[in-house]
């Protein structure tokens, strides 16, 4: 899964929005977090998905996995 996020250049989103570079605009940060979350969701099984789908961002989703 992490390899997919690296390929899509959004692996930094796993550490949380607060650690993204300050040079990024808020729109870019939001786009990266959303991209990471949308990459994680299709890779999860039904049971795991139910446990993490309500998480607000990729970092909290990743930490529950």
What pLDDT digit, counting tens, does each position of 12-61 carry?
Answer: 888 887 888 889 999 998 898 888 888 888 888 888 888 888 888 888 88
Measured CA to CA in angstroms, residue 57 lies from 14, 15, 39, 45 at distances of 9, 10, 12, 18
Predicted confidence at residue 27, as pLDDT, reads: 92
Q: Which domain holds residue 9?
A: 2-13+23-64
Q: What is the mean pLDDT of residues 4-12?
A: 86
Tell me how many domains the chain contains.
Answer: 1
Q: Is residue 32 a part of any domain in this protein?
A: yes
Q: Is residue 18 a part of any domain in this protein?
A: no
CA distance 55 to 21: 22
In the chain, DSSP assigns E strands to none
């Amino acid at each position: 899964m992490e390899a997919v996020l690296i390929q899509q250049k959004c692996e930094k989103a796993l550490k949380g929005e607060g650690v993204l570079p300050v040079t990024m605009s808020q729109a870019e940060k939001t786009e990266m977090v959303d991209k990471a979350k949308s990459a994680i969701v299709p890779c999860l099984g039904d049971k795991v998905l139910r446990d993490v789908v309500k998480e607000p961002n990729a970092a909290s989703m990743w930490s529950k996995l």
